[in-house]
Chains A and B, each alone.
Chain A
Amino acid sequence: MQTLTTGAAQFQPASDQSLLVYFGQQITLDAHQRVRKLLRLLEEKPIAGVQNLNPAYCSILVSFDALKLNQGDLEEILRGYLVRLDSMQIPKRRELQLPTCYGREFGPDLNEVARLHGMTPDQIIELHASVSYIVYFLGFVPGFAYLGDLPEALATPRLDSPRRSTPRGSVGIAGSQTGVYPFATPGGWRLIGRTPIAMFRPDRKAMSFLSVGDRVRFLPISAAQFAALENA
């Protein structure tokens, strides 16, 4: 895969009212920083006619009102934004902790994940909680944070058939990603634990507990601590 030169990006129409801006086709810290910077720039200086932004690992989907903008004009304006990315300042990463109760009914797939990797459940927990993860973006459903990078030894494929419902707060792994389900939704990630923290609260100013660019660590807690925190 080629390395991107400063500000380089590729454009790809996704529909008649949206355009994908790619910073390469690989999950890298460099691409992630560019996504953060472009997102911030587009939020600070919105483009008239742009209606929505969907950041991801190495791309942003820009949706627009097709009656006010077209792909060509939008690309032109975005090129003007891209050359300013290098001089952009982005806020320092916040460091956060997510208390998590692993295993048993909190993480019904923990034993299977351990078996797949030839490790004990405790080793899986220790490894999962040993690193600090980057919040690459929020997506899928409100407040769902895509976290990386998972220690390579923990990379596990998704379930063959997704669960109809995963309890809210479930901590899952899928491939080399890990994340937390903010709502009870269908899902195919393997569940190893559960956090009592409310990941998405519409009554809070920030709503989502995690924001793009944060760093987060999982902190193993007991079932009793889970109950205490859940009722706090």
Chain B
Amino acid sequence: MSTILVEAPGLQTTVQDLGRNGFGPLGISPSGAADPISLRLGNRLVGNDEGAAGLEMMLLGGTFVFPEGAILALAGSDFGALLDDVRLEARTAVEARPGQTLRLGPTRSGARSYLCVQGGISVELFLGSASTHILSGLGGYQGRALRKRDVLRIGSATKSFRRRTIAPQASEQLSERSVLRVTPGPQVDWFAERALHSFYTGTYRVGEQSNRMGLRLEGATITQQGAGEMITEGVSLGAIQVPAGGSPIILFVEQQTTGGYPKIANVISADLHRVGQLRPRDEIRFELVSVDQARRLLIEQEELLASRELILE
């Protein structure tokens, strides 16, 4: 059995797959990779199923030793990775020899980098998923972020090494953008024309207290019309809720499952992976699209991900 030794954990490194859906009635949000597209691509580079578990690193990466060697790839943001002393090419599979050390540093682009290994990270599944839900201490590796001296198991792998890389053009199309596209939220009527105008024309800064539960935004405050009290209801992934103070919050992968603040808008499915790459202090704007447009954009994105030209061998 192959393993990964955690020599340094990084800022917040967790085991993630594509999340556990279907447990809303118990109050459990899906969790899963904050940038699922990067995890899927990383898995394909090493020959895994797209949904295999990998390591999600945030802002500052860790140091990992592979005592038995491994076939690995990094996807997502550039954390300046070195395998022993050799700089690793981004989004390209590489074979680590037994005893080699992978070192990642602070991010040079977005918020998250994914380490995928052939065979995937093997942990006991909780409700069918390897994803860590940090807030409730469920799933992943002991329900928490990795610590120094943790030992992770790598699932069994039988395939041989092939040098795969992602077509630069595709990387470009999928990369970060500072404009997030949104559809109207279920309580959009609670906001006056003026409030909507400032929401769609203003620039928002991602707050320092942002995490996998939600991203707090700083910028033009949004006032509701009237002083209605909302009845708590289910909240969707990427919902942008506006508490009484008027500073919007984007609800994210480890979100609360229900909430009582009005939602002005919702990030479209095709842009959710970009939310996972937003760092504190990044500046963003919002652009309104229709639900039909949002669906077309998602279909286009999936077509790009399914295209033969995406992965070069």
Given A39-B25, A139-B258, A183-B135, also A58-B298 (CB < 8 A): no
The answer to whether B232 and A56 have CB atoms under 8 Å apart is: yes
Which of A39, A43, A141 has its CB near the most chain B CB atoms (within 10 A)?
Answer: A141
**Bound: A29/B291 CA distance, A:** 33
Q: 1/0 contact trace for A174-185 toward B, CB 8 Å?
A: 010000001101
The answer to whether A61 and B298 have CB atoms under 8 Å apart is: no
**Residue among B236, B298, B302 making CB contact with A18, cutoff 8 Å:** B236
Given A59-B234, A66-B295, A183-B135, also A14-B266 (CB < 8 A): yes
**Bound: A51/B28 CA distance, A:** 13
For residue B30, which residues in chain A have a CB less than 8 angstroms away from its CB?
A: 52
| Interface size bracket, A side | 35 or more
The answer to whether A27 and B231 have CB atoms under 8 Å apart is: yes
Given A139-B258, A183-B136, A202-B138, also A144-B231 (CB < 8 A): no
**Bound: A67/B302 CA distance, A:** 9
For residue A200, which residues in chain B have a CB less than 8 angstroms away from its CB?
A: 136
In A55-80, the 8 Å CB interface with B consists of 55-61, 63, 66-67, 70-71
Q: 1/0 contact trace for A1-41 toward B, CB 8 Å?
A: 00000000000111111101000011100000000000100
**Bound: A122/B291 CA distance, A:** 54
**Bound: A208/B25 CA distance, A:** 10
The number of A-B residue pairs with CB atoms under 8 Å apart is 143
The answer to whether B135 and A51 have CB atoms under 8 Å apart is: no
Check if B99 is an interface residue, CB within 8 A of chain A.
no
For residue A141, which residues in chain B have a CB less than 8 angstroms away from its CB?
A: 27, 135-136, 256-257
**Residue among A16, A43, A142 making CB contact with B138, cutoff 8 Å:** A142
For residue B231, which residues in chain A have a CB less than 8 angstroms away from its CB?
A: 25-27, 56-59
In B199-240, the 8 Å CB interface with A consists of 229, 231-239
**Bound: A52/B29 CA distance, A:** 9
For residue A20, which residues in chain B have a CB less than 8 angstroms away from its CB?
A: 186, 233-234
The answer to whether A61 and B234 have CB atoms under 8 Å apart is: yes
CB of B124 to closest CB in A, whole Å: 11
Check if A222 is an interface residue, CB within 8 A of chain B.
no
**Residue among A12, A15, A17, A138 making CB contact with B26, cutoff 8 Å:** A138
The answer to whether B233 and A57 have CB atoms under 8 Å apart is: yes
In B293-313, the 8 Å CB interface with A consists of 294-295, 298-299, 302
**Bound: A142/B256 CA distance, A:** 9
For residue B232, which residues in chain A have a CB less than 8 angstroms away from its CB?
A: 56-57, 139, 146
Given A25-B231, A139-B234, A139-B257, also A17-B24 (CB < 8 A): no
Chain B: which residue is nearest A50 at the CB level? Answer: B22
Chain B: which residue is nearest A39 at the CB level? Answer: B25
The answer to whether A53 and B26 have CB atoms under 8 Å apart is: no
**Bound: A142/B27 CA distance, A:** 4
For residue A169, which residues in chain B have a CB less than 8 angstroms away from its CB?
A: none
The answer to whether B299 and A16 have CB atoms under 8 Å apart is: no
10 A-B interface contacts by CB (under 8 A): A12-B186, A14-B266, A16-B295, A59-B233, A59-B234, A60-B234, A61-B235, A66-B269, A137-B258, A139-B232
Extra contacts besides A15-B269, A18-B234 (16): CB < 8 Å: A13-B183, A14-B263, A14-B266, A15-B183, A15-B185, A39-B25, A51-B22, A54-B25, A55-B234, A63-B236, A70-B295, A139-B232, A139-B258, A141-B136, A142-B138, A183-B136
Residues of B that sit less than 8 Å from A by CB: 21-28, 30, 126, 133, 135-138, 183-186, 229, 231-239, 256-259, 263, 266-269, 291, 294-295, 298-299, 302
A-B interface, 9 closest residue pairs, ranked by CB to CB distance from nearest: A61-B234, A54-B234, A139-B258, A16-B294, A15-B266, A54-B24, A18-B236, A138-B27, A15-B236
